[in-house]
Amino acid sequence: MIDKERFGPWVLVTGASSGIGRELARQLAADGLDLVLAARRAPLLRTVAEDLTRTFGVECRTVEVDLSREGALDAIERETRSLNVGLVISNAGTPFVRRFLDADRPELDADVRLNALSHLDLAQHFAPRLAALGRGGLMLVGALGGSIGVPFMAVSAASKAFLLSLGEALHVELEPRGVTVTVLTPGPVQTDALELLGLEGKLPMKALSVEQCAREALSALAAGRSRITPGRLTRIMHSLVPASVNRRIAARVFGEALRDRPRATASHAR
């Protein structure tokens, strides 16, 4: 699916220890690309890397990093400095469910840094390298809720809106330089985040498999698309149901999750 000559030989994947990031890394390894995997959970990340090397024979390097902290890019820069990175998948993020009135400012600042500014840091660092190569790609992993606003996830959704706007603009700017920028905006996906957020069995529609989400995302990147929302049913429902109705549904679902678990959060790797 992914051409090693166009997007390789190395790929950086952040938030690669589980969920969408891990599955993207697995499918890229199946295409023969070498990987730099970054996440904050080092033991789990090493297990993923060892499994990919054993299964697909690719080289995997790992970077333990918490992208919610300032200066996190330094560790990634050191590990990738001498590598020919042709694709960057900026996937790290956490959907925080909280009442806005209950959140303190340091919590909100960390939320924005992880879900928006860390992606900006990676884009600003790697875009010139890719443009100099005249090829390659950048994938920013946002969320479908970023296009409508999500009650009880107000800041997380707003930061994903930033990614959508940034990525679609960069798609046009960098396309003449041979660089493809694609924004992945998934709806509910079958990852650990659903359980950790208290949403298992409470969603109005079945969550998409992580395999399909990753497959459609990489297909969109290969096709040079600026944006992809995986899952035909998800796309149909999002286009037909008014945003105001979706917000009311989200308010009910996340309001119930907060009553069950006042401080529900997910891991950095969705």
Residue 231: inside a domain, yes or no? yes
Average confidence (pLDDT) over 44-57 = 97
Flag whether pLDDT at 63 surpasses 80. Answer: yes
Which pLDDT value is given to residue 261? Answer: 60
Which pLDDT value is given to residue 199? Answer: 67
Residue 17: inside a domain, yes or no? yes
* pLDDT digit string, tens, across residues 189-219: 988 877 766 666 667 678 899 999 999 999 9
Residue 268: inside a domain, yes or no? no
Where residue 109 sits, what CATH number does that domain have? 3.40.50.720
Alpha-carbon gap, residue 33 to 12, rounded angstroms: 10
Which pLDDT value is given to residue 1? Answer: 81
Residue 114: inside a domain, yes or no? yes
Which pLDDT value is given to residue 151? Answer: 94
Flag whether pLDDT at 130 surpasses 80. Answer: yes
Residue 267: inside a domain, yes or no? no
Which pLDDT value is given to residue 255? Answer: 87
Q: Which of 48, 43, 63 is nearest to 18 (CA)?
A: 48
3-state helix, strand, coil in the chain (%, to 5): 55, 15, 35
Residue 3 CA: distances (Å) to CA of 31, 33, 93, 159, 179: 8, 9, 27, 31, 13
Residue 265: inside a domain, yes or no? no
Alpha-carbon gap, residue 41 to 77, rounded angstroms: 19
Lowest mean pLDDT across 14-28, 90-104, 113-127 = 90-104
Tokens of 48: 């993923």
Structural contact between residues 45 and 64, judged by C-beta atoms closer than 8 angstroms = yes
Which pLDDT value is given to residue 268? Answer: 41
Q: What's the domain count of the chain? A: 1
Average confidence (pLDDT) over 138-159 = 93
Flag whether pLDDT at 32 surpasses 50. Answer: yes
pLDDT band at 262 (very low <50, low <70, confident <90, very high): very low
pLDDT band at 266 (very low <50, low <70, confident <90, very high): very low
Q: Which of 182, 198, 92 is nearest to 137 (CA)?
A: 182
Which pLDDT value is given to residue 259? Answer: 81
Residue 98: inside a domain, yes or no? yes
- What number of other Cβ atoms are within 10 A of residue 174's Cβ? 19
Average confidence (pLDDT) over 150-160 = 93
* pLDDT digit string, tens, across residues 86-104: 999 999 888 788 899 999 9
Which pLDDT value is given to residue 270? Answer: 43
What is the residue range of 135's domain? 4-260
Residue 111 CA: distances (Å) to CA of 96, 105, 108, 124, 155: 8, 10, 5, 20, 7
Residue 266: inside a domain, yes or no? no
pLDDT band at 183 (very low <50, low <70, confident <90, very high): very high
Tokens of 140: 């920013």
| Strand 85-90, strand 10-14: pairing | parallel
